[in-house]
Amino acid sequence: MKSDRKNRMDRRRFIKAGGAGLAGLTLLPQLSTAAWAQGAKNSQRRIFPLNHKWLYSEKNLPNGTGARFNDTGFARVTIPHTNRMLPWHGFDDKEYQFVSLYRRHFTMPAGLSGRRVFIDFGGVMTAATVTINGQKLGEYRGGYTPFSFELTPHLNRRRDNVLAVEVDSTERSDIPPFGGDIDYLTFGGIYREVSLRVVPATFIENVFANPRDVLSNNRNVNVRCYLDSKGVSTAQRKLMAELRDGARVIATQSLSVSSVSPHYDLLLTNLGAIDLWDVKNPRLYQVHVSLFEGDSLTDEYETRIGFREASFTPQGFFLNGKHLKLRGLNRHQTYPYVGQAMPARAQRRDAWILRKDFKCNIVRTSHYPQSSHFLDGCDEYGLLVLEEIPGWQHIGDAKWKDLSVNYVETMVRRDWNHPAVVMWGVRINESRDDHDFYVRTNQAARSLDDSRPTGGIRNRYESELLEDVFTMNDFRIPLRPPNHPLYLNTEFIGHMYPTKRNDNIERITEHTMRHARVHNQLASDKAYAGGIGWCAFDYNTHSNFCSSDRICYHGVADIFRIPKPAAGFYKSQCSPAEEVVLEPAFDWSRGDRDESFNVAMVCSNCDHLKIYIGDRLVADVDPDRKTFPNLDYPPFVTNIREGIRGPWGDLKLEGYLGGKLVITKMMSGRGADRQMLVEPDDLELIGDGIDATRIVLRVADEYGAVRPFANAAIALTVEGPGEIIGENPFSLFGGVGAVWLKTKEAAGIIRLTAKHPKLGSKTVELRVKGFRPGLV
């Protein structure tokens, strides 16, 4: 994880709401839990995270006023929160489709009179009707985009205030993505963070810091500032923008503000030497904006940026003037047990898995804007992003379209400072042509941000192209040649070849082979910018799409983010200077294969491979450049039929570079479960009642290779300030599985013990640091 200071960067990007049914709202993004917890000390802005002390009822009770609020029957919860805990598979989506009620009592801190107060929601699934002290503020429709309401005229300044949120988690046809079938589940609840924002009468509403001419010596940053003003002030106002590298100020510019304007531009120049943001070196800087009235500092705003030039050309994709073949995966942000309600650490972990474990250089946020924490991780780890609006094939009526256009605006304004984002997806995934509608969505994105291209994810080559880049879901092998000079394949494999971790060897190997074949073709022609496979992780879906248990087994990793062999192909395409990779695309057994199937596929960036069964050398091979001539690191594919027919034993794989042995992997031939592995992602957490980390459970052979048919129930016990998110006992699937460990609101040591019915017990310890909750 990156430093806490990076978590404290304030990314409040918001706009006046427009569109159907949105009058009176202000749209905001999700706020980082740690961001500006105490507010800017020198200005009038204060941000109070409001993620603790919530009350929750699955029954939508009537809201009263004053003393008539009755909290009997409510449970105390923290945010993010799912409206219903669920098994990881085999449940009915109707279980979470109901209207629930959240309440939060708070008292305004002293010394804040004369300021405006907003309540900011990062995401509520699917429609939120918000009241304060019994006064209805309005309904926000849409679960994937942020919003806020102004509370100022309705607050009790010196006594209890009651904020209530009625959450409708049904699949309403008036709200995108609903109205037709969709191949994913949305779940329910207040699943992203909530903050109370206190600002002066005139405040910095948004900042778009746009680096320009980054490859020249005249590189600069155009800082576009949006102000929100209420009331009349005769004081002279001034904006000041600074480019910072930590405590060092690189450039400063100021501007007097006297007239009313939609925005104000400040140009930061004379920057000197600047490190570029790149997938290998994701260098970040800060832009800090201050607002003064006379000589008094009244407001401050800070965001992060990166200097990079990303362009799609007829010769492919270029980052900072260098050709880069895009190789990535689609991601759903849903998790087992809690749906979308995972905190910042888990969201960032997904970015880490995709970039550092699977070695992808791009991800598509299919099929909706995803967590700001995930995008922060993409910025920090060097993972490019194609971000798109909510939807799946269906286009609704005029009001539905108005909401979608509004989602484009909200998405762009929330995320335009993320250097990782290189394209806006402004078309409903795989939808029919709708000229007028998509003229509007493209215009919405381009009018706000002319530095990034638009794309529109389609599944018909003959569809009308209104976007800048032709983005196409093509599941055929071989792919159709690109029909547009700017072309990116955005889905392949997926539903055409679902694969479980415990499928037979032929299917597991073929699943890996298909991903390799597509990327080999994409590498054959520079006209292909690259490809984004379907998909990263298995995910929950509706009954008409899944494998009868509400899971689409389309991922190169399972729903717990544990890799299948196909993930090894993606990992193997990195340079051995970054990591030497040796990943077999099979499990080691003699009989679990068709008699005619004798292929051993090994994904590796080595240049030579030796395979042993026991002490016998059964294969001595180079990469398969005949089948995969275009890949930088082709897989090894060899027939080991004769080797299998000989004496049985352990399998040993040896990888060589330049004639030197650099990596060895072993797989047992004994066919026995030898050990249980208990692996936490993190060993230190924050005791805020929110923070959580994944605990991976595996049953393996004596060398650590997963035993894919191990299915024992693992009993879990927890001592200390933590609790399990997940099923307990947990029955392994494909020899693996995971739960998440969530902290309580206390410091200490958590001891989690996993007990296998045959292999005994293992205990892991995690340190929990203390946490001081907010002031309200």
CB 675 within 8 A of CB 699: yes
Query: Distance of CA 524 to CAs 363, 476, 518, 585, Å?
Result: 21, 16, 10, 23
For the cut 90, the answer to whether the pLDDT of residue 430 exceeds it is: yes
State the burial class of residue 304 (Cβ atoms within 10 Å of its Cβ: 0-12, 13-18, 19+): buried
Strands 202-212 and 220-229: antiparallel
Percent of the chain whose predicted confidence (pLDDT) is above 90: 83
> Position of tokens 């993004």?
29
pLDDT digits (tens, 9 = 90+) for 209-238: 999 999 999 999 999 999 998 876 667 899
The pLDDT mean for the chain works out to 91
3-class DSSP state of 704: coil
* Euclidean distance between CA atoms 407 and 413, whole angstroms: 10
CA-based radius of gyration for the chain: 27
pLDDT digits (tens, 9 = 90+) for 549-601: 999 999 999 999 999 999 999 999 999 999 999 999 999 886 666 666 678 99
What is the length of the chain? 776
Q: What is the pLDDT of residue 540?
A: 95
In what order do the strands lie in the sheet containing 316-319?
A: 310-313, 316-319, 322-323
pLDDT digits (tens, 9 = 90+) for 5-42: 333 333 332 222 222 333 233 333 332 333 333 344 57
pLDDT digits (tens, 9 = 90+) for 255-274: 998 777 889 999 999 999 99
Segment 492-520 shows an average pLDDT of 94
Q: What is the pLDDT of residue 772?
A: 80
Higher-confidence residue of 410 and 67: namely: 410
Q: In 3D, which of 253, 318, 305, 301 has the Cα closest to residue 275? A: 305
> Position of tokens 């009331």?
231
SS3 annotation, 648-691: CCCEEEEEEECCEEEEEEEECCCCCCCEEEEEECCCEEECCCCC
> What residues are labeled active site?
430, 491
Q: What is the pLDDT of residue 774?
A: 67
Half-sphere exposure of residue 220, counting CA atoms within 13 Å on the CB side? 13
For the cut 70, the answer to whether the pLDDT of residue 412 exceeds it is: yes
* Euclidean distance between CA atoms 103 and 53, whole angstroms: 9
pLDDT digits (tens, 9 = 90+) for 123-133: 999 999 999 99
pLDDT digits (tens, 9 = 90+) for 669-707: 999 999 999 999 999 999 999 999 999 999 999 999 999
Q: Residue 756 corresponds to which amino acid?
A: H
Q: What is the pLDDT of residue 233?
A: 66
Q: What is the pLDDT of residue 421?
A: 98
For the cut 80, the answer to whether the pLDDT of residue 150 exceeds it is: yes
For the cut 50, the answer to whether the pLDDT of residue 449 exceeds it is: yes
Q: What is the pLDDT of residue 65?
A: 45
For the cut 60, the answer to whether the pLDDT of residue 301 exceeds it is: yes
Higher-confidence residue of 214 and 642: namely: 214
